[in-house]
Structure 1
């Protein structure tokens, strides 16, 4: 303890002031540590960070242990074991990995918040650049943990699409929601689409795994030794074809990405980020497109200039709603497995809305037809 701190503590009588003085001294001591230790690995530095936070609650420390090592392991898988190897490209790829692995913004926000805090701690020691942790900002990633995660009901989807078709026909909001509600695509799959993947003459889109040119999809390609083949052709209903055709003719920016590819959805700068696509979904499902969200009128607390309100939905809620809707309208689980790239056990656990008697009745006719005549 410095003499200046001792004197300041002797004169302070407010507990909060004393706590602030002690916290400032700890921060000062940490910043004064050697900042160029080439022997400190990311694992070492994570452990040091954890050891310095013994005053945190058990729940908070458990969260550190669950989230930060995920990044350390991810970096190691990419050949990075020391902080000098942390780049903005690595951070972007880590964020993409989280979006592929988890469906809710709240979960992704937990991981990015803790990794961001740790990277900021490293930056204070001159061990990584400021740009690495700022990339994990909640707004930069387009995260909105207050958006809703339940399935978008068919009745609300019908109401939203009806308004978008008349008020924002062919806009990016209209086109992306038509596509998501019909196909149940993941945001990463939407981002991966090129104009050439869309075939209006046969009403389908081709979902392709192209990591070498900047777009990955969940489950990838069977040829890449992934656990499942996410590549597939997905049929489109006529209303989706109309929306996409209008979007391409009147709204799509005629641009290419850094690999010379022509993205289906675009911004003025090229292929949109996942966060941009997520913001479009939040705006497309906000209360402005519904008469009575949740059966009640909006309470007026929404910022009219904002693209997000408490009634907005996560992109995965659109996917979940699309799957539930099509299963409820007769699509078999086997066909849903192929269309949505999801396993039957996951469909049974999370998506199939039918009761056991309803499932039995739905399969009864096919079962009877399959009985041998003996």
Structure 2
């Protein structure tokens, strides 16, 4: 080998390369997963990546399985390890054949897909609540929920939107890859997405009443903008959890009183068992769009995913076979207000 790196050094070097190509969220995911590998390697006194063997890799997998990881989580950890080893092989730190010794498990659809999502019936009730509220209409959490639900975009994509990307007259949002705000699939994720008039109204109200007129560090004007400029991922998650409290529209399913419930505090919103993350909203949105009979290719374009990914993670033949031959509906009319609960 012409070079040598410790597991920790290899991780850090790999992450530095990822920062040039991936969103901050994706890099954090790599870091979290690979840190588990680094800790294991250091506990096993593996000082050099060149020492790794197929046996070591299998031992690491066994250790992660013993930790009780869910199948999908285990697969994610091993895929990240393989990518690290691929990188190390490319710079002559490990043998070329070592990455192929990472045995990536094959999962069933049930194991790969998460059952946690914002149900369409709940989204309908929540958006109806916000649309009819004198005090919450057009607030950041309401505007975020409207966009997240009706588009099905990733949180990183919504965060990357600039004010100029919203065209109320054409009823569109334009998603663009403009580092350092990154789209999941870079330029391939760029697209125009149609939105319904109620979504336009919510965004217009948010811009007029709630949005701070600030610029980010690059001089851009974020569509969603706070006192300090473009909000952090933590802020978007807080809006997500706070907009999906079930107690907005019905009695608390957990027996709590809203007036005294700690979950209603911003810093505790994620702890409510029934509030939902941005990913859960995205999952529910994709499911709902498919159930409206919109062609899977159209949904894939809106949410920046491949039809194959959507079929694998969201498609249930027993429920959607009847929709296979339906023509895509006009997406400008796609609105939760028309959901038949």
Is TM-score (shorter-chain normalized) higher than 0.5?
A: yes
Larger Rg: 1
1:183 aligns to what? Answer: 151
- TM-score when normalising by structure 1: 0.58
Shift in alpha-carbon separation, 1:164–1:117, aligned structure 2, 3 A: farther
Q: Distance in 2 between matches of 1:282 and 1:338?
A: 26
Query: 1:71 and 1:336 mapped to 2: Cα distance?
Result: 37
Provide the TM-score with structure 2 as the length reference: 0.63
Contact 2:163–2:222 at 8 Å: present in 1 too? yes
Give the structure 2 partner of residue 159 of structure 1. Answer: 125
- Partner residue of 1:174 out of 142, 146, 149: 142
Q: Structure 2 CA distance, aligned partners of 1:168 and 1:115?
A: 45
Shift of 1:95: 4.0
Q: How does 1:130-149 map to 2 (within 5 A)?
A: none
The answer as to whether partners of 1:278 and 1:315 remain within 8 angstroms in 2 is yes
The 1:112–1:337 alpha-carbon spacing in structure 2 relative to 1, beyond 3 Å, is same
Aligned partners of 1:117, 1:364: CA distance in 2, in Å?
51
Shift in alpha-carbon separation, 1:149–1:354, aligned structure 2, 3 A? closer
Deviations 1:80-131 (CA, angstroms, capped at 9, x unpaired): xxxxxxxxxx79x7743246xx6xxxxx89549859989xxxxxxxxxxxxx
CA contact (8 A) 1:230 1:341 kept: yes
Distance between the aligned counterparts of 2:35 and 2:130, measured in 1?
Answer: 34
Deviates more, 1:244-253 or 1:159-168: 159-168
Q: Name the residue aligned to 2:170.
A: 202
CA distance in 1, matches of 2:325, 2:172: 32
- 1:339 corresponds, among 295, 299, 302, to 302
In 2 relative to 1, CA 344–256 (structure 1 residues): closer, same or farther, beyond 3 Å?
Answer: same
Do the aligned partners of 1:255 and 1:268 also contact (CA within 8 Å) in 2?
Answer: yes
Question: Is 1:255 the counterpart of 2:214 in the alignment?
Answer: yes
Report deviation, 1:198. Answer: 0.2
1:362 paired residue number: 323
**How far, CA to CA, are the matches of 1:116 and 1:94 in structure 2?**
22
Alpha-carbon deviation of 1:349?
1.3
Match of 1:44 in 2: 6
Taking the TM superposition and a 5 Å limit, the aligned residue runs for 1:292-307 are: 292=251, 296-299=253-256, 302-305=262-265, 306-307=268-269
SS in 2 for 1:307: helix
Pick from 208, 229, 236 the counterpart of residue 195 of structure 2.
236
1:299–1:216 CA distance, 2 compared to 1 (3 A): same
In the alignment, the residues of structure 1 paired with residue 34 and residue 229 of structure 2 have an alpha-carbon distance, to the nearest angstrom, of: 25
**Counterpart secondary structure, 1:151:** coil
- CA distance in 2 between counterparts of 1:267 and 1:196 reads 17
2:26 corresponds to: 97
Query: Are 1:216 and 2:179 an aligned pair?
Result: no
Question: CA RMSD for the aligned pairs?
Answer: 3.2
**1:74/1:94 contact within 8 Å kept:** no
1:363: Cα distance to partner?
Answer: 4.1
What residue is the counterpart of 1:291 in the other structure? 250
The Cα shift of 1:325 comes to 0.4
1:268 matched to which residue of 2?
A: 227
- The number of equivalent residue pairs is 244
Secondary structure of 1:325's partner?
helix
